[in-house]
Amino acid sequence: MAIDAATVKKVASLARIREPEDRLEPLARELSGILQWIEQLAEVDTEGVEPMTSVVKAALPMREDVVTDGGDPARVLANAPRSDRNFFVVPKVVE
């Protein structure tokens, strides 16, 4: 499939993109090249190939869903600037 300068001009107009006349022909050749490459990809036999979401097979690490008592509040609050009864104290941000 080849794209000509008139098609590029029409698509640019529909997309409200202003393209100078001297750029239409080079742009048409570039877009035609891209479409030829896509047609080449369509010729590849992908029968039996599973669709992929990534080129690297990776599984997400899972942890057990275990209920805990929340840990040690003293250790959690050890670096807090201010705390009160096992809670962080933060400045008021909404008046």
What confidence tens digit (pLDDT) does each residue in 58-71 have? 888 898 998 877 78
3-state SS record for the chain: CCCCHHHHHHHHHHCCCCCCHHHHHHHHHHHHHHHHHHHHHHCCCCCCCCCCCCCCCCCCCCCCCCCCCCCCHHHHCCCCCCEECCEECCCCCCC
What confidence tens digit (pLDDT) does each residue in 17-75 have? 999 999 999 999 999 999 999 999 999 999 998 888 888 888 888 989 988 777 888 88
